[in-house]
Amino acid sequence: MVDKSIKNYVEEVQTNGYAIVEGVFSSNEIEAIRKEIERESDSSKETFRKSKDLFAIRQFLKEIHSVEKLLFNATLKNILENFFDKNYFVVKSIYFDKPEESNWFVAYHQDLTISVDKKVEIEGFSNWTIKQNQFSVQPNKEILKNIVTIRIHLDDTNEENGALKIIPKSHEEGIVRLDTFDFKNHKEISCNVRKGGIMIMKPLLFHASNKTTNKERRRVIHLEFSKSNLPKELSWSEQHSIN
């Protein structure tokens, strides 16, 4: 069960860049989510990436849309409304499955891109890429600051199976070049989360993950939310309101 006021979690995220909320989903809810993903997964699609180290589904809510009713329970909606009131929407959704033998790791980084419908030259938007028919761009800092990421954990996650490592409060420094950030003078924390819990974080928080060493699977649903409008020439490619 969520064990303290949700407003306290909002304050933690604003101050430290992250918060962990345990017990957002029951064991039965997690099992139903897992089964729905397995039932609907089709790795032949372009949005599915599969290797011995990682299985990922991009545009997850579009590809496995039947899972939405299971994900957005009353507790998660309450958490989101405390961040955004009722005007929020999904702007990115990814499913990550790190298998038991995974040697895949991610170095420290900030999440600096958003997914949009097309490429347009606009001041303040740079570093355009396209992958799997998906345009990505780095927007201005204000748009990034107003995104909230929620990671739903379908397995127990710790230092040994790829839990996120983060640098608390690093989001306060804005967009920072990795080679200029002084990691030696900042404390690193492993964000261990039990099955059914969530991690809430700001995209500008420095984060990383290690290789799996305990032969335990790690499945996470990564959802990004905003209520910011883009310039009229652009649209969020995955914009989706939650009923």
Report the pLDDT value the prediction gives residue 214, as an integer from 0 to 100: 87
Report the pLDDT value the prediction gives residue 43, as an integer from 0 to 100: 58
DSSP per position, the chain: ---S-HHHHHHHHHHHSEEEE--SS-HHHHHHHHHHHHHH--TTSTTEEE-SS-EEEESHHHHTGGGHHHHS-HHHHHHHHHHHTT--EEEEEEEEEE-TT----EEEE----EEESS----TT-EEEEEETTEEEEE--HHHHHT-EEEEEESS-B-GGGTPEEE-TTGGGG-S--GGG--GGGS--EE--B-TT-EEEE-TTS-EEE----S---EEEEEEEEE-PPPPTT--BTT-B---
Q: Is residue 128 in a domain?
A: no
Considering the entire predicted model, what is its pTM? Answer: 0.92
Report the pLDDT value the prediction gives residue 74, as an integer from 0 to 100: 95
Q: Is residue 116 in a domain?
A: no
Q: Is residue 233 in a domain?
A: no
CATH number, position 57: 2.60.120.620
Q: Is residue 232 in a domain?
A: no
pLDDT (tens place) for every residue of the chain, 243 residues total: 566 688 899 999 999 999 999 999 999 999 999 999 988 876 556 555 565 555 888 999 999 999 999 999 999 999 999 999 888 999 999 999 887 766 778 999 999 999 999 999 999 999 999 987 789 999 999 999 999 999 999 999 999 998 999 999 999 999 999 889 988 889 999 999 999 999 999 999 999 998 888 888 899 999 999 999 999 999 999 999 997
Number of domains into which the chain is organized: 1
Q: Is residue 44 in a domain?
A: yes
